[in-house]
Structure 1
Amino acid sequence: MAFSVQQIKFEFLSYMKEFEGNDGAWFVGVCADPEAALFASQMVDRQRDIWLWKPALTPRAALAVRDYFQQKFEIPDARCSAPSAAACCVFLYRAGNEREYR
């Protein structure tokens, strides 16, 4: 099931609010394969890190979500190792201070 821009923004904002704090930095990205992007490319720890991903309706919608979080909250882009023009998934994660930022 794919989600609208507004639905993803709401989910991500709720998630950020739930896990707010000063012990890390948020990153946002767009990809075709969120599992590979999060856990292989970005080396997010599935158990310890805070992460979320949602499929958007279109690649343009996914980019709109990413751009919103980059512009409004100055969240850095978490680039995928192999981005695609057809990438429809938006992901968000927070890395702790003990980790090296990518």
Structure 2
Amino acid sequence: MAEIVITTMAERPEVTPYLGDFWNVWPRFMLNDLIADALLWRATADFADQCLIATENDELVAHARSIAFAFGDDDRTELPAGGWDQVLQ
């Protein structure tokens, strides 16, 4: 059985063109959100060290995107009034 290898997008930027192959697995609301549609793609470029990919036999099998956002400390105990959209903006 082949091993699944987890790396960051920063370590494997050459797989970026293949991320579009996974749009069909995203929740529908993510595909219909104007802010997410406009900005989420930038996560792999702007936060490549926080976005993960999984490869098996050097083939892309999964990816995860992340955007740094401070939450849960004394200064920020809840999401901003604009929610996810405001975080992305």
Instruction: Give the alignment's TM-score, normalised by structure 1.
Output: 0.25
Quick one: higher RCO (CA 8 Å, sep 6+), 1 or 2?
1
